[in-house]
Chains A and B, each alone.
Chain A
Amino acid sequence: MAQKSNFTFRPWRGLVVPQLLLLCACLAIWQIGADTFGTAFWTSSPSAVFEALMTWYRSGLLWSDVRLTLAAAFLGFFLGSIAGGLAGFILGWVRWLGDLLEPFILAYYTLPKIALAPLFVLWFGIGLLNKVMFSAMLVSFMVFITTYQGVRQVDRDLVTNARLLGASRPQIWTKIAIPFSAVWIFTGLRIGLPYALIGAIVGEFVASSAGVGYRIKEATSFFDTAAVFAGLVVLMAISATLLTILKISERRVLRWQNAGPQQPAPAE
């Protein structure tokens, strides 16, 4: 398998240096622009954002805020993925049920779900539960819709063939349908992941007393742009980390997709 790595396409390898340079250039323009035009009040500046981050860190609140937001996002992601995945599977597999409910799903799809945030406060209070449920609601829909579509695309011939090979109904699910739709399920998870954070943050915007979202809102009310940006930086870091973790697990599960080209015949 040594030859495999030669063929795997990794565009990012050679691009890291230019990408870092680009980042530095952006930061420099931001800093210089803010200094020259005196717009720091609205745009803040990299140095001020760094300063705000350090203040946040020294106050000891950074970790507790991050922990709170992460907990809400993670639990919401977890619950939402399970609920959405399960619903997607059932409605995708049982065709008539899916057809029956399709218009209702579409109606729900067009609803701007952020508008439900106040309602969730009413239902689940202003504690952690509210954020978890809200982010679960957002995530579940994303996972649902992709899983639903993935399961609908399971090759029916493949299923018939498996039955001829002696598969029972549960085996068709575990050995054919779920692996077959794994690509779609992972797509749903990948799309859903940022929504878990969105859910947690919006929940914190609406009603809370701590968390990264709360910190951003608080800073805005004090016109502390640097602290707002500091909050955004932290959010970006969180979401990038989570996405990387997800991508690694995806690559592991869907390893077969990256199988190299045809292998040479072994010596006979």
Chain B
Amino acid sequence: MVSPHATRYWHEHSGTHKRKIVNKPESGHNGGQTGTAAQGEFDIEFKGVSVRFGAMAALGETTFSVRRGEFVSIVGPSGCGKSTLLNLLAGTLAPASGHVLYRGRRVDGPNSDVGYITQKNYCLPWRNVQDNVALPLEFRGWSRSQITHRVREVLDQVGLTGFERSYASQLSGGMLQRVMIARTLAYGPSTFLMDEPFGSLDAQLRLRMHAEVLRLWQTTGATFLFVTHDLQEAITLSDRVIVMSSRPGTPKLILDIDLPRPRDVVELQGEPKFGAYFKTLWNELDGAKI
């Protein structure tokens, strides 16, 4: 149901039309979206969800929602179930209790309306860059010419023009991550799930990828749920940051990040508020470890 809508949406937005940036006076506003969507305000809803792996409780009872077009990050100690939340939403994992709603619909199988990007790269080694990016479009039965056109467009967007015929083994970590982003971008999902996507990149490249993600968020109008252990990353990108307690994790703090958009990843670090947010999050996390 998402594909025709989402692609059309993308084409409208990939040109000059950009996400309207309301300077976010109060949190609680709908991320600058013009609320014409019929399906309701929330894209993602966790309702009393918990997960067990055998005897181990991986995720304590968790309830929170993400508004359409919002950028939410999840931070927390390792093993607290951050990635579990994303897996629930992607439909690769079933909760032990409660339920997960995506756009008001219960998730009960692989959810191909979302784009899932992890640290692991899922490039098929026998396909070159352009054919890897074409994969989800082939799955959706697009025509050859549509695919070619679209692939060129998204590769240009992530700055991989010139690498169309390279294989995964010939690319660096940062470029592979961009292939994964391009592949997800290609089919225009309405929600991006990112699980420490830049964990393996060096600091400099990380900052550049942050700028790219912000640009992506702005141009697509998509909802982002972003898992990280990097507090600066979380503050830089998000509207809200959720801090999880240690295992079995539950949200113990939801912090609104009231920083002006559009954001400059470097300038932002000098904002006095940035430091304050960092401190708040840090203290909260530190408490979780003890």
Contacts and interface: CB of A to CB of B under 8 A. Distances in A.
Contacts of A175: 135, 138-139
B163 A161 contact: no
Interface string B168-205: 01111000000000010001000000000000000000
B136 A179 contact: no
A71 B92 CA distance: 50
Contacts of A164: 90-92, 110-112, 114, 116
Interface of B: 3, 90-92, 110-112, 114, 116, 120, 122, 124-128, 135-136, 138-140, 161-163, 166-167, 169-172, 183, 187
B140 A166 contact: yes
Interface in A161-192: 161-168, 171, 175-176, 179-180, 182
Given A165-B112, A166-B112, A260 B170 contact: yes
B110 A160 contact: yes
Interface in A181-218: 182
Contacts, number: 68
B163 A166 contact: no
Interface string A233-268: 000000000000000000000101101111101100
A259 B169 contact: yes
A71 B136 CA distance: 43
Contacts of A160: 92, 110
A165 B135 contact: yes
B167 to A, nearest CB: 4
Contacts of B127: 256
A65 B166 CA distance: 48
Interface in A143-167: 157-158, 160-167
B81 to A, nearest CB: 18
30 contacts: A157-B120, A158-B124, A160-B92, A162-B139, A163-B110, A163-B112, A164-B90, A164-B92, A164-B111, A164-B114, A164-B116, A165-B135, A165-B183, A166-B112, A168-B139, A175-B138, A175-B139, A180-B124, A180-B126, A254-B126, A256-B126, A256-B127, A257-B125, A259-B167, A259-B170, A260-B170, A262-B171, A262-B172, A263-B163, A263-B170
A157 B122 contact: yes
A256 B169 CA distance: 9
B139 A262 contact: no
In the A-B complex, the 5 residue pairs with the smallest Cβ-Cβ separation, listed nearest first, are: A266-B162, A166-B112, A165-B136, A259-B167, A163-B110
A180 B123 CA distance: 12
Contact of A262 (B135, B170, B183): B170
A265 B170 CA distance: 11
Contacts of A158: 122, 124
A60 to B, nearest CB: 47
Nearest to B135: A165
A265 B178 CA distance: 14
Tell me which of B111, B114, B139 has the highest count of chain A C-beta atoms within 10 A of its own C-beta. B139
Interface residues of A, number: 27
Contacts of B92: 160, 164
A165 B139 contact: yes
Contacts of B120: 157
Given A165-B183, A175-B138, A254-B126, A263 B166 contact: yes
A80 B242 CA distance: 58
Contacts of A176: 124
A163 B92 CA distance: 9
A265 B183 CA distance: 20
A110 to B, nearest CB: 34
Contacts of A167: 139
Contacts of B90: 164
Given A262-B170, A262-B171, A266-B163, A162 B111 contact: no
A258 to B, nearest CB: 10
Contacts of B3: 166
Nearest to A168: B139
Nearest to A165: B136
Contacts of B172: 262
Given A256-B126, A256-B128, A262-B170, A162 B163 contact: no
Given A175-B135, A256-B167, 20 more contacts: A161-B116, A162-B139, A163-B112, A164-B91, A164-B110, A164-B116, A165-B112, A165-B135, A165-B183, A166-B139, A176-B124, A180-B124, A256-B126, A256-B127, A257-B125, A259-B169, A259-B170, A260-B170, A262-B171, A266-B162
A161 B122 contact: yes
A159 to B, nearest CB: 10
A166 B187 contact: yes
Tell me which of A166, A167, A176 has the highest count of chain B C-beta atoms within 10 A of its own C-beta. A166
A165 B187 contact: yes
Contacts of A266: 161-163
Nearest to B165: A1
Contacts of B136: 165-166
A167 B187 CA distance: 12
A157 B160 CA distance: 25
Nearest to B160: A266
